[in-house]
Amino acid sequence: MPYWGQMLLQDPASPIMVQLILFHDHVLVILALVVMVIFYTLISLITNKYTNRFIYEAQEIETIWTILPAIVLLFLALPSIRLLYIMDETFNPHITIKSIGHQWYWSYEYSDFGHMEFDSYMIPSNELNLGDYRLLEVDNRMVVPTGINIRLMLTAADVIHSWAVPSLGVKMDAIPGRLNQTMFNILLPGVYYGQCSEICGVNHSFMPIAVEAIHLKDFMNWVKS
């Protein structure tokens, strides 16, 4: 959960989100260095009085300002490509959960445990308990175990939705007639909130996502119950 006035990203709860935050910090460091060099160059050009009316070309400096940006782009592109491959399906799932987007709620199916499915609606503001989060609490949370590779299959029953939980580093579109999939592994137990990230109608803002991560033993007891 983000806090009021929070400027940075949410605390990571999955290995993918950890890598995303590290890449974000890496890009900001390079951006800061580039901005410092540009400001130094501008100030130097403004403050000095050197001039030469007879220079028509400067191949050396043109070569430098062509090669240096290419090197900077390499420092950005290589970690980015590495992260894309990490985010790809690089591990075998232990549990598969199917989520279907509706106007305006989510439904979940645990096909690995027989015919187990339920709908997840937002709890209205007048029914919230003390300490609940407005517009984020649901009547049935998606329950998953920690430390387990989870595959999430996504589709929609009507219009395009998007299943997104920032602290897990997951955002995937749910498209009618198409089955998308993504994977994640939650490091710590807790409740992680998200929302539909694709404008899907008048109640788009009222179909939140709540993922409750618990230990594997507690998850198996929940499945049996």
Domain ranges of the chain: 15-88, 95-223
pTM (2 d.p.): 0.83
- The helices-and-strands tally (H runs, E runs) of the chain is 3, 10
Per-residue pLDDT of the chain (225 residues; tens, 9 = 90+): 666 777 778 888 998 999 999 999 999 999 999 999 999 989 998 888 887 777 777 788 889 889 999 999 999 999 999 888 888 766 788 899 999 999 999 999 998 888 889 999 999 988 888 888 899 999 999 999 999 999 999 999 999 999 999 999 999 999 999 999 988 999 999 999 999 999 999 999 999 999 999 999 999 999 887
> What is the DSSP code (8-state) at residue 53?
T
Give CA–CA dist 183/180, Å, rounded. 11
> Which DSSP string do the residues of 123-138 spell out, in sequence order?
PPGGGPPTTPPTTT-B
Inter-residue contact 214 to 145 (CB < 8 Å): yes
Give CA–CA dist 109/96, Å, rounded. 9
Name the β-bridge partners of 151.
96, 183
How much is the pLDDT for 1? 62
Domain 95-223 -> CATH class: mainly beta
Give CA–CA dist 220/223, Å, rounded. 5
How much is the pLDDT for 89? 65
Architecture of domain 15-88: Orthogonal Bundle (1.10)
